[in-house]
Structure 1
Amino acid sequence: MKNNELFRASGIMAIGTILSRITGFVRALLAVAVLGTALLADTFNVANTMPNILYNLLVGGALTAIFVPQLVRSFEDHDGGHGFASRLVTTISLILLVLVAVGVIFAPALVRLYAPEFSTPGFETEQEIAVAFTRYCLPQIFFLGLFTMLGQVANARGSFAPLMWAPIANNLVVIVVFAAVLITERSLALGTITDLQVQILGWGTTLGVVVQALILIPVVKRSGIHIRPMFGLGGLGKSFGLAGWTLIYVLISQLGYLVTVNVATSAAVRSAQAGITTGVGFTPFTSAYYIMLLPYSIVTISIVTALLPHLSRLAIAKDVEEVRKQLTRAIRMVAVVTVPSAVALLLFGPLMTQSLYLGISLEDARYIGFVLSALSIGLVAFSINLILIRGFNAFEDTKTQVLSILIINIISVALSYVFLETLDSYWVTVGLGLAFSVSYIVGLFITISLLKKHIGRLQVGDFAAQHGLLLIASFVGMLPFFAIAFYFDWAYDDASLALRAIRLIFILAGSGIAYLFIARALKVSEVSGLRGFVAATLRRRRDK
């Protein structure tokens, strides 16, 4: 798969992902406008995160990736893979239904696990609201699993676009729900939010996931795979054997995230006790994390999703050299976007968030920017790590990568607790962003070393030099604009929203153009390839 072929395969997904992230960002903005960034928002975000955490423990993230090679192999079965796909979806769905029931029953314990300081005296209201939100959101687990399983079937049949486009419908449903609440009630507070409003926000968020999953049913039918309820584990033994190690991988990751939620909510409670009114807990972290994921999601996930089935076929054919080349190409292509994005988020974090987040104070919005700048340091390493993990998945090796994620999370957990105990509560969440970045930078070298087992020595120099040139282009192109913003104190004055938006557009457009010009002058070939990818994608859209 050459660069231009990979670009074409990724084009339609990139458009879907861009629209998904834009609508998702509008959804996040509305959530902050309705709930703020302090403890009320944390009760919702902890609850709405719970389904994703529990779902990831079984069929989310890296776990689903192992089924792509298995599905590709199953197409050679006498029934064309219909039985394997049906048994897979049926078995996972039953597991998730049981998980939903158990979660609803033990919702108070789940909240105490992830936000223990909500249970301290004086915070009973936060605990009660968080439990209610959790029970309304937990059914998402089943539909997240259904969406992912159907999406993996579609991907294995070469249909990538619907998996990228379905989340747009999810976001639109939730946007309508939050917009309706915002219109009827300008802002909510812990002491004024009603049971009905909690139900509307909780069930409305779940409805979005339901719509997202159901959209894929006709898509899978059109792909030629007919899924029907089919009980039994025939043919699934190898998949679940591989899933055992991946479950450990995801479990380690989610335990690390548990610490992040714990530390962030603890910082929020301690800040409230100290009289700090700025939202400094879990909500600022998730808000910043979402922005950081935009460039990663738009480019990295689009390319990786198109690349994985191809890598699986190469691994089956034992074409190790081509697997190594494809991984290197993907890393180099992704860097054209992730490297300048990381630099921009580092330099302009507060300037961005004070222009994007409405309905909250400028101090709250700028704090999200501080967290964003800390997270941006690890963006490039985070993206490369995802690509390399897909290399393990292509060889159906879910065991070796566990060591990498273990080290990453040990570093993150250790730094998180160090920051909780040593930093002022106000800065703890910024410290969490830095802990994330440091852990993935160190973990990247571990992952590269472990991957030698399958592809031999990955020539880091094949992409490190290019990354260095992109860093130079980014800093040279953006530092003059940073100097302008710093000199005129644009990130910290009280200008109107319209003026802040104009400044941000000027800085991002100017620095982006400067980066592209300098990168081309430095002869980074992938920059021209990216321009071709965008042009080809727009041309396809125009021809439809």
Structure 2
Amino acid sequence: MMVVMSNVERVNIPPKPVAAPRVPPRNPALVPAPPLAHTASKGRMSPSAARSSANMAVGTLVSRILGLIKGIILSIAVAGTVIGDIFEGANYLPNLIFLMLAGGVFNAVLIPQIAKASKHPDGGRDFISRLLTLGLLGLLTLTAVVMLLVVPIMSLSTSFTGKQLELAITFGLFLLPQIFFYGLFSLLGQVLNAHNSFKAYAWAPVVNNVVAITGLLVFIFVAGSSATNPHTVGNWTTGQSWILAGTATLGIIAQSVVLLIPVHRLGLNLRPKFSLKGAGLGVTAKIATWTMGTMIIGNLSFILILRIATIPSGADSNAGGSVYPGALVLSRATEMYIMPHSTIALSIATVMFTAMAHAAASKNLPALRSSVSSALRTTGMATVFAAMALLVLSGPLGMLFSGNQELVGRQVAITLAILAVGAPFFSINFILNRVFYSQENAKTPFILQCIAVAVLLSCVLIAGQLPPEWIIYGIALSYTISNFVGPMISHRLLKAQLGDYGGGLILRAHMRFLAAALVSGIVGELLLRLFGSSATGGFMWTSIQASVVTLAVVGSAMAVVYVLVLKQLRVDEIDALLNPLINKVRNRIPGK
């Protein structure tokens, strides 16, 4: 049930090109980038890269906050019921199938090819037109085939049976069309990123979340919450499926369609082109083969995980409610655990990826090593603190998704605490793998993925043998173990290829981050005691509102302590990350 995020990367943000119907826009690939080695000569991100990361981080953060609100409302609607686990299992499949069969190609491979094509006299118009035509036809075919096979797919990927399986299949018919629109969103986003237009891609998911939240509020208004009107397979209606699952898909459609506007403004004058001859897709296809293999291996493992994660729902003896933690608990905890990565690490990696690609293309190994080192240190400063915050605040965070039920809140909290330990390592491995892709090397990530999957599946299969009430916790521990192993192997292979990319400097920086995080964690734990964290029925366990108050007070205190300690330790990365955000706020203040 892991949430998988991908984006693509570029460094300089030139002035936005003015769209013109016949004249190709200014080609961002031809705009001279500042000397990468110089911009990172002091081991810091360039100001433009930091600003771009900050802009993307703000958009992503808003989207993630709305996503959390959506998760809270979903929990109010169906938490503590088998319906919640069935919906979560079905809603996970479109994303998984897309990522397994197409996502890796779209997200990790296309940006270097689009960047190369943009050097052509037509600004890449012909290549992108052919690419979009081929991609959309492939997505349409894939979506149609999957929907025709919804019954065997749902039967094989989940442990639901009987009426539970029938409802999962119904949800699937509403949700599986998302595959096409996930692909459309990804394709259009890569075109924008290749032309240094990051904002729309980062902000489009906000539209998705607004639509989905509206749909959930309508559902609660019509059908009631799980606390006031417990939803069961027996009393569920087709109309409720339309509202719950239909609006979820409507949000994905809106997220994709909204990108058509900024793509049109690029002035590329794209048209459907069905001939592939001379399009230069041969290199893309070669790289895509390895990347697709990587995604298939990785996501096939998540199908097995999904099947094991749905075992507790079938084993639960409570016909109306759900006593054991299930797919809904795992998904909510995973969303929280992945949030620091998707907000900070992904934004930094998106901006730094093209810097790596340019350095790799020009065989400039010092610049490539410098970019990697800078990205890892800047990311680590945020993710190390985030991991500590998730660990310490797992209780009130769990209550956010409890539907005001302490049992569910504690289940999410335990799962989140286990996942939080491996969060920084997940981001580290993500960035290291992007270095291989920047060199158009998709074979090595495939090998790394196979190793990671072997470790993960070994642990998950063991977790599947646990009693039903422990299975979700075992899966969470499997993720954490896999996250530890991944960067160790990636580091060894990358060091053999690039040489020393500043490992000592990176390690020392992370040690300072950890020291500051430990101080903030101790402060947070002491403050939590004042909010009844150690007592059953304590204040923070009483309601969602109480958990929000607890998070606001304790989380703010932890953040302030962390920043102050980093300042005392003279950590340069704190300025590189915060200054663009601070300047943005100052510029909006009247008179400044």
User: 2:425 pairs with 357, 381, 395, which one?
Assistant: 381
Unaligned stretches of 5+ residues in structure 2: 1-35, 40-44, 226-230
Distance 2:214 2:302 in 1: 29
Aligned to 1:83: 126
User: Which residue is equivalent to 1:343?
Assistant: 388
How far residue 370 of structure 1 moved from its aligned partner, in angstroms, is 0.6
2:441 matched to 1:397?
yes
Aligned twin of 1:158: 196
Map of 1:415 onto structure 2 = 459
The answer for the alignment partner of 2:585 in structure 1 is: 538
The question of whether the paired residues in 1 share the 8 Å contact of 2:184 and 2:256 is answered with yes
Deviations 1:455-501 (A, max 9, x none): 22333212111111111111122213314435874254323434443
The superposition leaves residues 305-345 of structure 1 with CA deviations (integer Å, 9 ceiling, x where unpaired) of 11112221221111111111111101111111110110121
Matches within 5 A, 1:418-433: 418-421=462-465, 423-433=466-476
- Equivalent residue in structure 2 for 1:288, among 316, 319, 333: 333
2:487 maps to a residue whose letter is L
The question of whether the paired residues in 1 share the 8 Å contact of 2:392 and 2:524 is answered with no
Q: Using the alignment, how far apart are the partners of 1:327 and 1:166 within structure 2?
A: 28
Displacement of 1:191? 2.0
**Which 10-residue stretch deviates more, 497-506 or 297-306?**
497-506
**Amino acid corresponding to residue 160 of structure 2 in structure 1:** F
Please state if 1:229 is matched with 2:268. Answer: no
Give 1:391 deviation, angstroms.
0.7
Q: Which amino acid aligns with 2:555?
A: L
Deviations 1:182-241 (A, max 9, x none): 112213332222011112222211111111111111211212322221113232121111
CA distance in 1, matches of 2:317, 2:369: 51
Out of 131, 138, 149, the position equivalent to 1:106 is 149
Which sections of structure 1, spanning at least 5 residues, go unmatched? none
> For residue 160 of structure 2, what is the aligned residue in structure 1?
118
Shift of the 374–165 alpha-carbon distance from structure 1 to 2, 3 Å rule, reads same
Measured in 2, the distance between the counterparts of 1:451 and 1:284 equals: 36
Contact 2:81 2:232 in 1 (8 A): no
Give the structure 1 partner of residue 365 of structure 2.
320
Range moving further from structure 2, 375-384 or 9-18: 9-18
Instruction: Give the residue type in structure 2 aligned to 1:291.
Output: M
Corresponding position of 1:468: 511
AA aligned opposite 1:477: S
Number of residues paired by the alignment?
Answer: 537
Look up the SS of the partner of 1:346 in the other structure: helix
Residue 253 of structure 1: how far off its partner (Å):
1.1
- CA shift for structure 1 position 304: 1.1
- The aligned counterpart of 1:10 is 53
Quick one: distance in 2 between partners of 1:72 and 1:499? 49
User: In the alignment, which residue of structure 1 is the partner of 2:520?
Assistant: 477
The structure with the greater share of residues assigned to helix is 1
Q: Partner letter of residue 266 of structure 2?
A: S
Tell me which of 187, 191, 205 is aligned to 1:167: 205
- Using the TM superposition, give the Cα deviation of residue 539 of structure 1 relative to its aligned residue in structure 2, in angstroms: 3.8
* SS of corresponding position for 2:333: helix
1:524 matches 2:571: yes
1:273: how far off? 7.3
Once the two structures are overlaid, the 10-residue window that deviates more, 267-276 or 93-102, is 267-276
- Once the two structures are superposed, residues 266-312 of structure 1 have per-residue CA deviations (whole angstroms, 9 ceiling, x without a partner) of 13322447999424111111100101111111111111111112221
1:149 aligns with 2:187: yes
Provide the alpha-carbon RMSD of the alignment.
2.0
- Matched with 2:450 is 406
Query: Which secondary structure state, in structure 2, belongs to the residue aligned with residue 400 of structure 1?
Result: helix
**SS of residue paired to 1:226:** coil
* Equivalent residues of 1:63, 1:250 under 8 A apart: no
For 1:189, give the aligned amino acid. Answer: T
* Identity in percent: 29
Shift in Å at residue 126 of structure 1? 0.9
Q: 2:77 matched to which residue of 1?
A: 34
Amino acid at match of 2:70: R
Structure 2 CA distance for aligned equivalents of residues 425 and 533 of structure 1: 48
1:510 — aligned with what? 557
Equivalent position of 1:243 in the other structure: 288
Counterpart Cα distance in 1 of 2:588 and 2:94: 35
Which residue among 536, 539, 548 is the counterpart of 1:493? 536
Does the residue aligned with 1:295 lie in a helix, a strand or coil? Answer: helix
CA contact 2:422–2:484 (8 Å) conserved in 1 = yes
1:189 equivalenced with 2:236 (yes/no)? no
Q: Single out whichever of 505-514 and 337-346 deviates more from structure 2.
A: 505-514
**8 Å Cα contact 1:220/1:226 also seen in 2:** no
- Distance in 2 between residues matched to 1:237 and 1:439, nearest whole Å: 34
Provide the rounded CA distance (Å) in 1 between the counterparts of 2:242 and 2:328: 20
Q: Which residue of 2 aligns with 1:364?
A: 408
Partner of 2:303: 258
TM-score normalized by the length of structure 2: 0.87
Q: What one-letter code is carried by the residue in structure 2 that aligns with 1:118?
A: F
